[in-house]
Amino acid sequence: MADLRAGLNQRRLRLNPALSRALRSSVPRADQLMQPYFVAPLSEGHREPLAVPGLTGVYRETPDSLLKRIEGDLERGVRLGLLFGMPARKSQAQGGADPRFDFDSTAGQIRRVKERFGADFFLAVDVCLCSHTDHGHCGVLTLEGDHVENDATVRQLAAAAAAYAQAGADCVAPSDMMDGRIKAIRAALDGAGREQTILMSYAVKFHSRFYGPFRVAADSAPKGELKLTDRATYQIDPANARDAMACARRDAAEGADILMVKPGLPYLDVLARCVAEIEKPWAVYEVSGEYAAIELMAREGLMKGPEAHVESWTALTRAGASLIITYGARQGREWLENL
Ligand code: PBG
């Protein structure tokens, strides 16, 4: 018996905690975590940051509280942020001529953040129309309201990306899932003299139920009397890995600098494939529903929150992610140190 087991004794290596730690092959680092921020313009009327339901420690910031939050986060070692701005007014975006959108509100927030923190804080900015449109879709609808118009939407996304880059964003990150937007946005950035601005594509974004808490935070759920009630005609079907790989290859070819898979844990197989097949830095978004699920269970005493978050980040790192976008980034250093 002893002979048979000799070659299979894995437990021997787990006995000593120091050795066991030393042998770890995938350890997430605090400096690869990116913190999302939500900021509403003052016209919205709230003077204090508002807690986001389900996302402990995450707020819908005011312009002033945003600066204070980033200042505190820098002290906690956070150097990477992803900003979700909101317009002062929503636009009617259905049919007819190109609608006018308010990209200036977010551009103003970007300018303030960069003026204050400069190169100490790497600021990526989400580019999408879902919090700008009165119907909540990620683009401009046809007159009939039954389809998101691809090219009319891409024109607006390119304008938004150029405005954010000119305001000083280090990186623009389109999350809309239209076809051809990476090429159009790269051209708009270069045309605006922003050759240095990084383009991070939400290349592989699935049509997921795990975005629930986010849509409350960003006020971006499809709403009203619409024929199109969800985002299935532009986001990737969770059952279609082939579509995911096609999007990944296309966005890499169109010039994305960093590519992303989103959500994280339910799509680890896709992430691992992307990393193996496409030689680009890969980011992964641990989305609101993934983060909130852990927080809710922790609150019920059903699991240890910090350890569970670190376990998720470990899995995402093991699958090959270089960058992890997570609502827990601001606690990252503390949680990882106590590991
Ligand atoms: C907007 C956008 C979404 C997220 C990031 N950008 C939501 C959506 O597609 O409805 C999700 C982020 C999260 O759930 O944490 N296009």
Substitution site in 35, 38, 137, 175 for ligand 1 pocket (most atoms within 8 Å of beta carbon): 175
Is the shortest distance between the CB of 206 and ligand 1 below 6 Å?
A: no
Cα 212 to averaged position of ligand 1 atoms, centre (Å) = 9
Closest ligand 1 atom number to CA of residue 288: 15
| Residue found under tokens 């890499």 | 252
Is the shortest distance between the CB of 286 and ligand 1 below 6 Å?
A: no
34 alpha carbon, distance to own chain's centre: 9
* Cβ atoms of 308 and 298 closer than 8 Å: yes
**pLDDT at residue 127 tops 80:** yes
What confidence score (pLDDT) does residue 6 get?
Answer: 61
Cα 54 to averaged position of ligand 1 atoms, centre (Å) = 15
Nearest CA to ligand 1 atom 11: 211
Cα 281 to averaged position of ligand 1 atoms, centre (Å) = 21
Residue 271, both tokens? 């992430």
SS (H, E, C) 147-210: CEEHHHHHHHHHHHHHHHHHCCCCEEEECCCCCCHHHHHHHHHHHCCCCCCEEEEEEEEECCHH
**pLDDT at residue 129 tops 70:** yes
Is the shortest distance between the CB of 244 and ligand 1 below 6 Å?
A: no
Mean pLDDT taken over the chain: 94
pTM of the model: 0.96
Cα 236 to averaged position of ligand 1 atoms, centre (Å) = 13
Nearest CA to ligand 1 atom 5: 175
Task: Tell which wins on pLDDT, 185 or 339.
Answer: 185
Q: pLDDT confidence of 239, banded at 50, 70, 90? A: very high
Q: Which of 5-14, 96-105, 281-290 has the weakest average pLDDT?
A: 5-14
Q: Which of 94-108, 109-123, 255-269, 319-333 has the weakest average pLDDT?
A: 94-108
Q: pLDDT confidence of 287, banded at 50, 70, 90? A: very high
Contacts of 12 (CB under 8 A, 6+ apart): none
Q: Got the DSSP string for 86-100?
A: --SS-B--BSSSPPP
Q: Got the DSSP string for 215-279?
A: HHHHT-S--SS-S--SSTTTSBPTT-HHHHHHHHHHHHHTT-SEEEEESSGGGHHHHHHHHHH--
Over the range 175-188, which residues count as b (16 or more CB within 10 Å of their CB) and which as e? bbbbeebbbbbbeb
Q: pLDDT confidence of 227, banded at 50, 70, 90? A: confident
Is the shortest distance between the CB of 138 and ligand 1 below 6 Å?
A: yes
Q: pLDDT confidence of 99, banded at 50, 70, 90? A: confident
What confidence score (pLDDT) does residue 225 get?
Answer: 77
Is the shortest distance between the CB of 207 and ligand 1 below 6 Å?
A: no
**pLDDT at residue 51 tops 70:** yes
CA distances from 151 to 93, 142, 159 (A): 13, 11, 13
Closest ligand 1 atom number to CA of residue 221: 10
Instruction: For residue 84, give the amino acid letter.
Output: F
220-224 contacts at long range (C-beta below 8 A, 24 or more positions apart) = 220/128, 220/130, 220/131, 220/136, 221/136, 222/135, 222/136, 222/137, 223/135, 223/136, 224/134, 224/135, 224/136
What confidence score (pLDDT) does residue 216 get?
Answer: 79
Closest CA to 152 of 94, 202, 205: 94
* Sign of the CA dihedral with 312 first, then 261, 29, and 121 last: negative
The pLDDT of 314-337, averaged and rounded, is 97
The pLDDT of 80-89, averaged and rounded, is 96
| Residue found under tokens 């600021």 | 123
**pLDDT at residue 193 tops 90:** yes
Distance (Å, whole) CA 303 – CA 40 = 33
Cα 14 to averaged position of ligand 1 atoms, centre (Å) = 40
What confidence score (pLDDT) does residue 219 get?
Answer: 76
Pairing of strands 59-61, 33-39: parallel
**pLDDT at residue 208 tops 90:** yes
Closest ligand 1 atom number to CA of residue 175: 16
What confidence score (pLDDT) does residue 1 get?
Answer: 53
The pLDDT tens digits of the residues spanning 276-286 come to 999 999 999 99
**pLDDT at residue 47 tops 60:** yes
What confidence score (pLDDT) does residue 252 get?
Answer: 98
**pLDDT at residue 174 tops 90:** yes
**pLDDT at residue 184 tops 80:** yes
Is the shortest distance between the CB of 234 and ligand 1 below 6 Å?
A: no
Give me Rg for the CA atoms of the chain. Answer: 21
Q: pLDDT confidence of 98, banded at 50, 70, 90? A: confident
Is the shortest distance between the CB of 284 and ligand 1 below 6 Å?
A: no
**pLDDT at residue 185 tops 70:** yes
Tell me how far apart the 2 most distant CA atoms of the chain are, in Å. Answer: 79
Q: Could you list the active site residues?
A: 205, 262
Contacts of 9 (CB under 8 A, 6+ apart): none
List beta partners, residue 261.
204, 284
* Cβ atoms of 310 and 335 closer than 8 Å: yes
The pLDDT of 8-29, averaged and rounded, is 94
Cα 314 to averaged position of ligand 1 atoms, centre (Å) = 22
The pLDDT of 264-293, averaged and rounded, is 98
**pLDDT at residue 4 tops 70:** no
